[in-house]
Amino acid sequence: MRIHLMFALLISIFLVSANAQNATLTFGSQEIPPFNQDQDGHAVGPFADIIKLICQSIQTDCVIETLPWRRVTAEVKQGRLSGGFPLVRYPEREQDFYLIGPVFYTFYAVYAGAGDTFQFHQAKDLAGYTIGAFGPSGTLNILERTTAGISPVKIEMELNNLTVLKKLSVGRYGPKGLGFINRDVAQYLISREHIANVHVAGEARREGYYLGLSRKSVSADVAAQFTKALTAIKQSGELAMILTKYGLVPTAERTND
């Protein structure tokens, strides 16, 4: 009788472990083209394609939802979402996320309005300016790090990147106003929305974009599997093909700052 009980216990432990391993992972991201877009209820973009490949590789079902960014970060921290993307790496973020990657690199740029001859070369060039940026976000964190110790600088936090571009295009930040935006996102939005009167005034920082897994609800073992699968996708050339498909430059072709 005792042997039967022990056998049943071992089987139940195995089944729980298997179910945990194969549990559906749910990811969240904001609408941030070209990195993620919602098309008829489906997430479309390079991260979605990469996550699907990884999940196939580790034989795990994955779902991707497009949500407001504040909700994404809050629910990943609480463990209600398994992960989120795209994420910039900084120490505070690593307390809540396993950061997988970098998946690829991207540039953040300073944008100026029409007729503004401002050129960005170094952080101190921003002294005396009002700068719009989407936040709270990695973009805002990068801008705050870039302008640390520079005075005076006024940062205006906006609900999204499109608001930054539109306000900049009509001079809402004043005669000494600028925008700080991911270059790929800005160029996509400028083209899609036909935004005039803004231009790149200089590239500020090169940053890696990561996939973040929740430390609250995802095990370190699963995070390690994601890292291993991402490395395989890079080495096979699949990642470069995905980035090219969406008009992005593969990591290996990025130049240094």
* pTM (2 d.p.): 0.82
Q: Which residues pair with 154 in a beta bridge?
A: 130
- How far, in Å, CA of 53 to CA of 126, rounded? 41
Whether 249 has a pLDDT exceeding 90, the answer reads: no
> How large is the angle between the packed helices 46-57 and 238-245, nearest 10 degrees?
150
Report, as an integer, the average pLDDT of 66-86.
95
Determine the 3-state secondary structure of 52 from DSSP: helix
Domains (range + CATH), the chain: 23-105+208-253 (3.40.190.10), 107-206 (3.40.190.10)
pLDDT top residue among 23 and 128 = 128
Dihedral sign computed on CA atoms, order 36, 42, 44, 50: positive
Is residue 251 scored above 80 in pLDDT? no
131 neighbors 178 (Cβ within 8 angstroms): yes
Tell me the sheet residues that pair with 211. Answer: 100
What confidence score (pLDDT) does residue 113 get?
96
> What digits encode the pLDDT tens for the residues 176-235?
999 999 999 999 999 999 999 999 999 999 999 999 999 999 999 999 999 999 999 999
Residue 192 CA to residue 171 CA, distance in Å, equals 20
